Amino acid sequence: MPRWPERGARPYDSGVQEPKRVAIVGAGPSGIFAAQALLAHPGIAIDLYDRLPTPFGLLRYGVAPDHTSVKGVGNALARVFESPAVRFLGHVEFGQDMSRKELLGAYDAVIYAAGAAEDTEMAVPGENLPGSESARSFVAWYSGHPDAAPFRFTGVRSVVTVGVGNVAVDVSRILCKTAADLSPTDMPDPVLDELRGHVVRDVWIVGRRGPQHASFTTPELREMLTLPHVQPVVHDDLDAIDLTTLDRRPKANVEALKIAAERLVPDASLRLHLLFWHRPIEVEGRHRVTGLTLERTALDADGRLIGTGEERTIECELVLRAIGYRGRALDGVPFDEKRGVIPNVLGRVTDTRGRVQPREYAAGWIKRGPTGVIGTNKSDAAETVAALVADLPEAPLVVLEPVEKLLHRKGLRPTSYEDWMRIDAAEGELGSRFGRSRTKIASWPELLNIARGRGSDGTATPRER
């Protein structure tokens, strides 16, 4: 296999002894930042695992396709794979293909960087009706994730997004954009066709607290509020908010909303409603969504959110909940169910009683929860790697099974970085046919066929090795 040098013959060897082997579970930004931080320490061989055949995680499947400057971070992260000390092992699923015990039997240390794979639920009646979806599934679909189920916009004229964070802004902005705006993106062709043809006329963003409490960031908010053909409608009395009491970001957010509330867009094709101080209490509909009933909220004397009993229903055909993500437990790895993270101290995994688990570490959203921007993962990973490197000399001596032997024994044929580069080239070529820089390939068989050098119409099945 290319770029898989024999054990003991690694060009990055310190020359003194066998390199220490570190496995990273999850090849998204936090995992790659962890690898980058490890590279500063000679004599460490790093294997980045991912269940997908492609690296980059949320950078590829979470950052909005129209935010191309953020995607540029990918170029910097890609350089990490240029080091001979780093290997990508795609299409290997922790828990299913490889157990905790097996990884710990093959590596001196393991870093879990698996992100936040679950959605927070609204826990209201009707939440599971067709047409009530998580923002994550919508993002996965328009980002060309191979597991995503298709969205259909037939008959959808009004969409309500619940939550006022940056994910809510992303999904609402994508809905507000025109076909011409979306055409240059890397969305798969069927996604582009569906979004180009939608007839949505009203997009609602609903926050359960006030505009001054929203977690979206001001540049993202402004970008959405100033889309040329979109009429913003702010349903709150912004003048009632005392700006002098606010910190910089909430103040800038409220100011941006005030400007938007004054904007008159003569030939608007779509209205973007911002409604605060309302929480969902029921998704309406018998066979599919027909509306969302909300209750007006307020803060009590102790600053707690309470319902006022005043209700209203917004007619809509699609509800997108963008109310946060949470980590998913990894088979056999300690997990804090309440917080949805791996319990840890400075990145060192602990059990639920706080006892450190030797040789196990966590980084990124599975370590601290789903907060911050991509760059936040850099300092987060640096903290974890500092702990790991400090522990290495003291780590208990274990006889490791060579990884190559383990993979062979399990019949696993991971995709490599070279395989990813074939997918990358194929997507570039597909895009160039229509003047786009890339068109994502969203099917498992196609991705695997291209990775295996067989062309997209080969015969591989999703689980073929």
Positions that interact with ligand NAP (CB under 6 A): 120, 122, 162-168, 170, 207-209, 213-215, 220, 279-280, 322-325, 370-373
CB of 279 to ligand NAP, least distance (A): 5
CB of 77 to ligand NAP, least distance (A): 16
Residue 98 or 135: which CB sits closer to ligand NAP? 135
CB of 322 to ligand NAP, least distance (A): 5
Q: How many CA atoms lie within 13 A of 31 on its CB side?
A: 33
State the DSSP H helix or E strand holding residue 141, giving kind and residue range, or none if neither: helix 135-142
Q: Is 44 left (phi over 0), alpha (psi -120 to 50) or beta?
A: beta
* C-alpha–C-alpha distance, residues 296 and 279, integer Å: 7
* C-alpha–C-alpha distance, residues 362 and 15, integer Å: 29
Work out the number of other CB atoms within 10 angstroms of the CB of residue 240: 7
Residue 44 or 292: which CB sits closer to ligand NAP? 292
CB of 331 to ligand NAP, least distance (A): 25
Residue pair 55/142 in contact by the 8 Å Cβ criterion: no
CB of 216 to ligand NAP, least distance (A): 7
CB of 198 to ligand NAP, least distance (A): 21
CB of 179 to ligand NAP, least distance (A): 22
Residue pair 242/250 in contact by the 8 Å Cβ criterion: no
State the DSSP H helix or E strand holding residue 426, giving kind and residue range, or none if neither: helix 417-432
Q: How far apart are the first and last CA of the chain?
A: 14
Single out the residue of 51, 7, 16, 4 nearest to residue 31, CA to CA.
51
Residue 54 or 297: which CB sits closer to ligand NAP? 297
Residue pair 88/415 in contact by the 8 Å Cβ criterion: yes
Residue pair 142/187 in contact by the 8 Å Cβ criterion: yes
